[in-house]
């Protein structure tokens, strides 16, 4: 869901800060509102007491005049938002005439139903809320009046709304700052991990001798680098053991195989052999030749892995090498034609035996996977600073999903495992040799149409300008 730990941390921090601020804001808001309302109620009660005392100070006086005096003396009425209004009702529940007030008059029945002292909230038609206190005034067990004091809740609502806006804006700002800070901190904290990832990328199966630096500035990362290096030590030892085993086994197998082949070939010279024995001996000879090739290839790859087989930088006449191999290939098949279509004199630098092996592997494959009557064409020419060698065939082709894998060791395309001979090592050897010479081996193929294997090698004249990147 998250593309990186940094964004995950930034998002989590932002969310936590938002939640904390929202909870805190809600708490503050409720507290402030409750306090303001409690103050307002206390004020209404104090006002009510004042009004009641005034009325009771002269219970027989004219109530209307008393109200007038009360309004001017105590500042009840007026236009300000925090004004406390007063409305007085005579004992039968009818209101005394006075200024029009925002809260509707109560009916006598409503007044009678109310308890002697009640406080409530009233919503006017224009949407303003009022706090309303209704009081029954009794003198000598005789009801002499009702009165109501009321005050708008609008100032409280204004304060709480401003508080809400301020808290929301502050909360958002805090969340953004927290998110950005978390992102920056995570970035800083994870930087050594990015460095370790970059360093690890340099270490491939062919460079197991490389190690990570031990100083990443952060203890945890340095410990990780240490563990990684120990793992590499073990891996390198295991690789080395395996490589040595393959090399030793191949080496040990070579001599008996040569002896078998030699003896079988001598036996085959006997003209008195019956047909069955001859066939069996020919089979033994063919299989031991195949095994010999396999062993040679394995030995070559084992040496390549150990870095012992690096090519010696001798001048190699690639054109001459192509002529030689094409000639050899022609003798291998009478049903598939092999021709040279373009030939330039090109010189490269390297090991001519290894390069010849590449050419042979490519040509053998082209012949092996091209049906009778097909054609194999070879071109060798210079292109810029590169020598380019192409082996085209009109064979069975290679499926797109196999094209990337045919250079892997022992990989053979599905369906070819048991026919056509071969071990799946030819192309990986060719690929290794070409790379070791600073070049590149590529394939283009259309199943049922044919394949083109292209080898790029740096021209000898260009080799001195080091660090050429193959096309």
Binding residues (CB under 6 A) for ligand ADP: these are: 361, 365-366, 369, 393, 395-398, 406, 411-413, 416, 422-428, 451
Q: How far is the CB of 336 from ligand ADP (least distance, A)?
A: 11
Distances (CA, A) of 28 to 15, 36, 160, 167: 20, 12, 10, 9
Cβ distance to ligand ADP smaller for residue 219 or 401: 401
Q: How far is the CB of 302 from ligand ADP (least distance, A)?
A: 16
Q: How far is the CB of 411 from ligand ADP (least distance, A)?
A: 6
Q: Give the three-class secondary structure for 440.
A: strand
Angle at 394 between CA 392 and CA 395, to 5 degrees: 105
Cβ distance to ligand ADP smaller for residue 136 or 412: 412
Q: How far is the CB of 452 from ligand ADP (least distance, A)?
A: 9
Q: Which two tokens stand for residue 153?
A: 């809740």
For residues 213-223, one letter each, b for 16 or more C-beta atoms within 10 angstroms of the residue's C-beta and e for the rest, the string is eeebebeebbe
Cβ distance to ligand ADP smaller for residue 183 or 456: 456
Q: Which residue is nearest to ligand ADP (CB)?
A: 422
Cβ distance to ligand ADP smaller for residue 303 or 416: 416
Q: How far is the CB of 301 from ligand ADP (least distance, A)?
A: 11
Phi, psi of 408, deg, nearest 5:
-75, 150
**358: CB partners within 8 A, 6+ apart:** 429, 430, 433, 434, 441, 455
Q: How far is the CB of 421 from ligand ADP (least distance, A)?
A: 7
User: How many residues would you count in the chain?
Assistant: 471
Distances (CA, A) of 377 to 177, 193, 322, 395, 450: 68, 51, 11, 12, 11
Q: How far is the CB of 402 from ligand ADP (least distance, A)?
A: 7
Number of Cβ within 10 Å of residue 438's Cβ equals 20
Cβ distance to ligand ADP smaller for residue 120 or 400: 400
Cβ distance to ligand ADP smaller for residue 152 or 428: 428
Cβ distance to ligand ADP smaller for residue 211 or 330: 330
Distance CA 424, CA 253 (A): 19
Cβ distance to ligand ADP smaller for residue 144 or 442: 442
- Interhelix angle 219-268/154-201, rounded to 10 degrees, is 40
Distances (CA, A) of 283 to 276, 287, 331: 11, 6, 21
Cβ distance to ligand ADP smaller for residue 285 or 451: 451
Q: Which two tokens stand for residue 361?
A: 């592997």
Q: How far is the CB of 393 from ligand ADP (least distance, A)?
A: 5
Number of Cβ within 10 Å of residue 129's Cβ equals 14
Q: How far is the CB of 353 from ligand ADP (least distance, A)?
A: 18
Distances (CA, A) of 27 to 22, 32, 166: 9, 9, 14
């Amino acid at each position: 869901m998250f593309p990186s730990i940094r964004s995950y941390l930034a998002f989590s921090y932002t969310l936590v800060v938002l939640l904390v601020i929202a909870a805190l804001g809600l708490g503050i808001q409720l507290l402030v509102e409750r306090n303001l309302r409690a103050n307002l109620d206390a004020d209404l009660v104090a006002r009510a007491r004042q009004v009641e005392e005034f009325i009771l100070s002269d219970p027989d006086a004219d109530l209307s005049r008393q109200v007038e005096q009360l309004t001017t003396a105590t500042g009840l009425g007026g236009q300000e938002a925090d004004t406390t209004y007063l409305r007085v009702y005579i004992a039968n529940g009818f209101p005394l005439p006075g200024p029009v007030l925002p809260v509707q008059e109560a009916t006598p029945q409503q007044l009678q139903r109310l308890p002697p002292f009640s406080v409530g909230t009233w919503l006017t038609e224009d949407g303003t809320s009022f706090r309303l206190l209704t009081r029954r005034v009794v003198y000598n067990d005789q009801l002499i009046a009702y009165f109501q004091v009321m005050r708008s809740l609008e100032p409280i609502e204004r304060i709480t709304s401003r508080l809400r806006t301020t808290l929301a804006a502050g909360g958002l700002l805090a969340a953004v700052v927290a998110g950005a800070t978390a992102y920056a901190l995570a970035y800083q904290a994870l930087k050594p991990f990015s460095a370790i990832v970059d360093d690890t990328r340099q270490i491939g199966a062919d460079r197991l001798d490389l190690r990570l630096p031990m100083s990443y500035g952060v203890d945890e990362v340095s410990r990780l680098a240490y563990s990684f290096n120990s793992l590499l030590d073990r891996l390198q030892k295991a690789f080395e053991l395996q490589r040595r085993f393959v090399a030793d086994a191949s080496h040990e197998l070579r001599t008996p195989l040569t002896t078998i082949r030699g003896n079988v070939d001598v036996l085959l010279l006997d003209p008195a052999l019956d047909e069955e024995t001859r066939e069996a001996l020919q089979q033994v000879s063919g299989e031991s030749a195949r095994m010999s090739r396999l062993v040679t290839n394995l030995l070559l790859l084992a040496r390549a892995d150990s870095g012992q087989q690096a090519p010696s930088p001798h001048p190699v006449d690639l054109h001459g090498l192509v002529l030689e191999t094409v000639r050899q290939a022609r003798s291998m098949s009478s049903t598939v034609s092999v021709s040279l279509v373009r030939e330039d004199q090109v010189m490269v630098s390297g090991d001519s035996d290894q390069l010849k092996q590449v050419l042979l592997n490519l040509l053998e494959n082209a012949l092996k996977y091209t049906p009778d009557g097909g054609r194999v064409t070879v071109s060798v020419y210079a292109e810029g600073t590169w020598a380019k060698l192409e082996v085209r065939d009109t064979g069975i082709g290679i499926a797109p999903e196999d094209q990337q894998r045919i250079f892997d060791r022992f990989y053979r395309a599905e369906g070819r495992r048991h026919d056509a001979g071969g071990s799946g090592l030819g192309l990986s050897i060719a690929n290794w040799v070409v790379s070791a010479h600073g070049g590149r081996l590529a394939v283009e193929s259309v199943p049922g149409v044919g394949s083109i294997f292209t080898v790029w090698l740096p021209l000898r004249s260009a080799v001195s300008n080091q660090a050429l990147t193959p096309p």
